Amino acid sequence: MMGVEQGGFCVGCSGALMGALFALGVMSIAWMLLIAALVAIEKLLPWTVIAIGGTAVALALLGVAVMFVPDQVPWLTIPMSM
């Protein structure tokens, strides 16, 4: 039971991140690696407030760029676009 509980906690905490990284992997391996590195740095740095704030700002800027000007984001391949 403890394994099921911990597994559910893990999926609940990181399910959205795994989904986002999968979508990024479809569009661009380079961006997926960059975002995964940002998340790893956020988790490993001792200054949690600065790391979390910096990662949040970087992801928000990337989200806005992909939403409004996807053709200007470097290394981004929009699926099923010709």
- pLDDT of residue 69 exceeding 70, the answer is yes
Phi, psi angle pair for 39, to nearest 5°: -65, -40
- pLDDT of residue 14 exceeding 80, the answer is no
CA distances from 78 to 20, 22, 44 (A): 15, 14, 31
User: How far apart are alpha carbons 39 and 22 in whole angstroms?
Assistant: 14
Mean pLDDT, residues 62-67 taken together: 85
How much is the CA Rg of the chain, to the nearest whole Å?
15
User: How far apart are alpha carbons 19 and 77 in whole angstroms?
Assistant: 17
